Chains A and B, each alone.
Chain A
């Protein structure tokens, strides 16, 4: 799973995909995850980072991460090549 190379990500959570012309907004935690994906962090690293920073638990993270990544793919912000 990789964030597409040409996708632009702003400080404020504004995302632009020049290939499709679509723009998106994301919340701070979403932005954090997208940044880590862009830096080629593994899912394990991302989980550790989120769990240490936020009041949540492993199963909630699993569920929400899976859903979020699916939405990134649906919106063609990420592709599913490993």
Chain B
């Protein structure tokens, strides 16, 4: 008699009609390939855990976002938020699609330059710009978004030394009805700080104020907050026009659109409940179009969307290391990836699918990472088919921030591959090795000798 496939015996209590904390989710449909590349093949070629990026999904999502805005407003430009995912291959896909770059450090700025982005297509945000960074950005005619008065005064000093007129904008923070308010970046609108900074810039006459910028927060679930923000920026622009007779070239609305992820504690899955690009575009573009601007004078609309453009394109493949039964009877599954490389599991309930066929029986479980740390929890409650050591899983919607905020802690960071438009995988970042890690460290000679 031929033997049949084994599955761990499971028994599960049925809670008829009651919505429990595990919800009614069908996360256990197996995902055996990504854009035509087999999960098992990817793992055997590139190892586990493994980050996989879908070029197709990036391009599709980007085009969708562009469409939502350009069908509503005549002048739109996206600038790729480097911090969200600054792998050069990923940035290059966005640049090929026509995106400028948005950076917040000298490191990111130089990465953009090396990727071939012209200096005048780089937006330089953030509170930390060194003198060297500022000089480079001024010489390259980049858009420098001033964050605080100390920076404003330093730029004024540098213009005297460099004999150049920098192109600048100010970052404005404001009350949009969404809390907490991000008032630590830029100049406040309501208190008059922003208007004050604008006056200083224009009256010292050392630089050109070409734009106004805001970034009101991240994972914003209320599109109307953007309408409020756009209206406040336009109000400043009108004041500039009426007092100084100058037109602002662009309004930069920052990032912050939600990705199709599920925030912890919400019963609805993100994919079903987050606003779409059309919702955000409608709020922002209506505010701009309904203003008193004549069509010719309408400013360029810049968007620095990060997570909403790349989150869905990212997958994390992993492997079951072990199963355990906790003292309260819950099943625990230990994976070979933890919060060290999946930072976003602190705020998202990431969807996890098995990567092989299963029967339709399921178990309620906890998913742990491999770190020797109590905080290493990937999912507190999830319903999955019984999985055994060596089985593979696919974690969804992990493309934003994980591959920049990942930590080299206890284990080294894994490979990243990108599946191209034809389903072919390309290694786009090599996994770290002990040799590489050790090459950064220096042990003083006198410590090298010991007897145990």
**A interface residues with partner B (beta carbon < 8 Å):** 13, 15, 22-30, 32-33, 52-56, 60, 64-65, 67-68, 70-72, 74-75, 77
Nearest neighbor of A15 in chain B, beta-carbon distance: B11
**Contact among A23, A27, A72 for B7, CB-based, below 8 A:** A27
A28 to B7, CA, bound (A): 9
If A54-B4, A55-B5, A60-B6 touch, whether A28 touches B359 (CB-CB below 8 Å) is: yes
Does B9 lie within 8 Å of A30, measured CB to CB? yes
If A27-B361, A68-B11, A72-B11 touch, whether A53 touches B329 (CB-CB below 8 Å) is: no
Does B9 lie within 8 Å of A33, measured CB to CB? yes
Residue B243 at the chain A interface, CB threshold 8 Å? no
Give every chain A residue within 8 A of B12 (Cβ-Cβ).
Answer: 24-26
Does B14 lie within 8 Å of A23, measured CB to CB? yes
Give every chain B residue within 8 A of A71 (Cβ-Cβ).
Answer: 10-11, 325, 329
Nearest neighbor of A50 in chain B, beta-carbon distance: B6
Does A29 lie within 8 Å of B13, measured CB to CB? no
If A22-B13, A68-B10, A71-B11 touch, whether A27 touches B386 (CB-CB below 8 Å) is: yes
A8 to B382, CA, bound (A): 28
Q: Which 10 A-B pairs have the closest CB atoms?
A: A27-B361, A30-B9, A56-B6, A54-B6, A68-B9, A26-B11, A55-B3, A64-B8, A29-B9, A23-B14
Q: Can you report 12 A-B residue pairs in the complex whose CB atoms are below 8 A from each other?
A: A13-B361, A15-B11, A23-B13, A26-B12, A28-B359, A30-B11, A30-B361, A65-B9, A68-B9, A68-B11, A71-B329, A75-B11
Does B10 lie within 8 Å of A27, measured CB to CB? yes
Residues facing A in B281-305 (CB within 8 A) are none
Give every chain A residue within 8 A of B10 (Cβ-Cβ).
Answer: 26-27, 30, 68, 71
Interface size counted on chain B using CB atoms at 8 A: 21
Does A75 lie within 8 Å of B13, measured CB to CB? yes
A28 to B6, CA, bound (A): 10
Give every chain A residue within 8 A of B8 (Cβ-Cβ).
Answer: 29, 64, 67-68
Residue B59 at the chain A interface, CB threshold 8 Å? no
Give every chain B residue within 8 A of A77 (Cβ-Cβ).
Answer: 11
Nearest neighbor of B322 in chain A, beta-carbon distance: A63
Measured between C-beta atoms, what is the minimum distance from A64 to chain B in Å? 5
- Residues 364-408 of B, flagged 1 when their CB comes within 8 A of A and 0 if not, give 000000000000000000000010100000000000000000000
Does B9 lie within 8 Å of A24, measured CB to CB? no
Measured between C-beta atoms, what is the minimum distance from B106 to chain A in Å? 53
Give every chain A residue within 8 A of B386 (Cβ-Cβ).
Answer: 27
Give every chain B residue within 8 A of A72 (Cβ-Cβ).
Answer: 11
Residue B16 at the chain A interface, CB threshold 8 Å? yes
A27, A32, A77: most-surrounded residue (chain B CB, <10 A)? A27
Give every chain A residue within 8 A of B325 (Cβ-Cβ).
Answer: 67, 70-71
Give every chain B residue within 8 A of A33 (Cβ-Cβ).
Answer: 9
Measured between C-beta atoms, what is the minimum distance from B200 to chain A in Å? 69
- Residues 1-36 of B, flagged 1 when their CB comes within 8 A of A and 0 if not, give 101111111111110100000000000000000000
Does B9 lie within 8 Å of A25, measured CB to CB? no
Does A26 lie within 8 Å of B361, measured CB to CB? yes
Does B14 lie within 8 Å of A24, measured CB to CB? yes
Beyond contacts A25-B14, A26-B9: 5 other A-B pairs, Cβ-Cβ < 8 A, are: A29-B9, A53-B3, A54-B3, A54-B5, A75-B11
A68 to B157, CA, bound (A): 74
Give every chain B residue within 8 A of A22 (Cβ-Cβ).
Answer: 13-14
Nearest neighbor of A69 in chain B, beta-carbon distance: B9
A50 to B13, CA, bound (A): 24
Give every chain B residue within 8 A of A23 (Cβ-Cβ).
Answer: 13-14, 16
Give every chain B residue within 8 A of A26 (Cβ-Cβ).
Answer: 9-12, 361
A71 to B386, CA, bound (A): 14
Give every chain A residue within 8 A of B4 (Cβ-Cβ).
Answer: 53-55
A54 to B6, CA, bound (A): 5
Measured between C-beta atoms, what is the minimum distance from B437 to chain A in Å? 35
Give every chain B residue within 8 A of A55 (Cβ-Cβ).
Answer: 3-6
A56 to B388, CA, bound (A): 11
Does B9 lie within 8 Å of A64, measured CB to CB? yes
A15 to B11, CA, bound (A): 9
